[in-house]
Structure 1
Amino acid sequence: MGRARVVASELAVGHGARRVLDGLDLCLRGGAVTVLVGPNGCGKSTLLRTVAGLQEPHAGTVSIDGEPLAGLSRREIARRLAFLPQSPLVPAGVNVRELVRHGRYAHRGAFARHTGEDRDAVGWALEVTGAEALAEARLDELSGGERQRAWLATVLAQRADILLLDEPTTYLDLRHQFEVLDVVRRLAHDHDIAVGVVLHDLMQAAAYGDEVVVVADGGIVASGSPEAVLVPEVIERAFGIEVDVVRDRTTGRLACFPRHRPHENPEPRS
């Protein structure tokens, strides 16, 4: 893995005056996918939004490449960090190429003319996400997986070295989930991008994460490699369920299964 791009220290985040997570230390590195997992409502999305500079932390600091996030303008942040929310609004009548061009606003402003550098960035983003064939299609006519690739291309057109994704596979069928996560992993490993992504599926976290951070009970329960983190005791503590974790002999991937207790036989009726 590459150098630290985003570092959060003693971070506390929340909604309004209410803290939901406290005392967090988090590091996102170039060339690596860091997956955040945890039960619903534990604060994963709030943490990601705070790291993206979209809301103020209750305490602690976030830095990008050694510079405090609080001292950077929104445009300076957007040139280094791209954020894709859970359910971005779909502009009416916009085609994919037009949408991806919006990712260049951080570099040229809303009303400046497109430059050759802008065209190169848009073309590169469409290519690496496999969305070139969709460039002239209207966004509202695409499937869920195609639309998500278009949104990925849009944030990539920012040419940011840090990518934050909040549940990018939500509402997608299994095939499109894997397609999107394949793109995300390729972006990190082939283009040295630091990726932080919130996922619900622990097996996807194991398959696609270089590091996994388990969030629960107001803080970070465990962090490290999937093999070190996705173990029965951590999963039980975070999710309240007993599981067995096994490794597939063919693929080497981890899988977990609920630990079933033997059913008690009811007393026979007389």
Structure 2
Amino acid sequence: MTVGDVRVATDKLAAGYGKSRVVDDVDLTLPAGEVTVLVGPNGCGKSTLLRTVAGLLPALDGAVHVDGAPLHSLSRRALSQRLAFLPQASHVPAGVTVRELVRHGRYAHRGAFARHTDEDRESIRWALSVTDAEPLADKCLDELSGGERQRAWLATVLAQRTRILLLDEPTTYLDLRHQFDVLDVVRRLAREYHIACGVVLHDLMHAAAYGDRLVVIAEGAVLRSGPPEEVLASDAIERAFGLSVSVVRDPGTGYLTCFPQRPPVAL
């Protein structure tokens, strides 16, 4: 597998609930080694689309392919060996340590009652290491800060050793530093391990800085998709958010950022 190989592809996908379509006719690809960021206004269907791609919601129409296989043809266990999904919020019983939580990521490979293998132990070690969660391994989740807890959950899905990672608003409830810490990990996973990352974000500045490709969702459809500098400079942002933005590249980091083209309100 090389960078750019398509790991997930949708074909005219419709996602929603019951007979109600939230987004329709979506053609989306998640290439290996890239961070694809879904942006759009509240309630536009970003999370609904991601959950449908993850197999947690049934597609209302169209198709999803994972590693070339139709999503509906994969068992839950087979899908979990290919794709990991981290929701906006997760809950565990009090007293569970980070290491115990991360072990759960191996269930897709060994089942709930099988003994741990050397491969399991190596995957757990790797997941803790790549998320910088090793110092937290023996701490209980309820003792951790929001950023530390999010790193623990990220390590848990990484322990599945999949090549597709879907993250639904992973920076929610985090302060600014921890938001960047988590997104740094996501970018590293794409760059160094060629994982295909699909991420829902609210913040356009984060999307500009960390996304290799942006997908703008609004009005029940994908309005635009492509490199951040093209998407952010298009009319799709104004259509989706009712806001024009200016796009600049930071000379120090090389990251893109964007600013609203609107003067501050006078006090």
TM more than 0.5: yes
Give the C-alpha shift of residue 91 in structure 1.
2.5
The equivalent position to 1:103 in structure 2, one of 105, 115, 129, is 105
TM-score, normalising length: structure 2 = 0.95
CA–CA distance in structure 2, aligned partners of residues 76 and 30 of structure 1: 19
Aligned to 1:22: 24
Counterpart AA for 1:14: G
CA–CA distance in structure 2, aligned partners of residues 96 and 215 of structure 1: 35
The equivalent position to 1:167 in structure 2, one of 154, 166, 169, is 169
Aligned to 1:91: 93
Aligned to 1:176: 178
Larger radius of gyration: 1
CA distance 1:33–1:261, change in 2 (3 Å):
closer
Aligned to 2:33: 31
After superposition, give the CA deviation of every residue in 1:191-232 in whole Å (9 maximum; x if it has no partner): 010000000111111111111111111100110111111115
Counterpart AA for 1:19: R
Aligned to 1:240: 242
After superposition, give the CA deviation of every residue in 1:166-194 in whole Å (9 maximum; x if it has no partner): 00000000000000000000011100100
Q: Do 2:38 and 2:198's aligned partners in 1 also have CA atoms closer than 8 Å?
A: yes
Give the count of matched residue pairs.
264
**Quick check: 165-174 or 248-257, which moved more?**
248-257
Aligned to 1:13: 15
CA–CA distance in structure 2, aligned partners of residues 197 and 176 of structure 1: 16
Q: Do 1:232 and 1:243's aligned partners in 2 also have CA atoms closer than 8 Å?
A: no
- Secondary structure of the residue that 2:149 maps to in structure 1? helix
TM-score, normalising length: structure 1 = 0.94
Aligned to 1:42: 44
Structure 1, unpaired ranges of 5+: 264-270
CA distance 1:242–1:210, change in 2 (3 Å):
closer
Give the C-alpha shift of residue 109 in structure 1.
0.6
Aligned to 1:268: none
Give the C-alpha shift of residue 235 in structure 1.
1.2
Aligned to 1:208: 210
**What's the RMSD between the two structures over aligned residues?**
1.6
Percent of pairs with identical residues: 69
Aligned to 1:198: 200
Give the C-alpha shift of residue 85 in structure 1.
0.2
Aligned to 1:266: none
- Secondary structure of the residue that 1:200 maps to in structure 2? coil
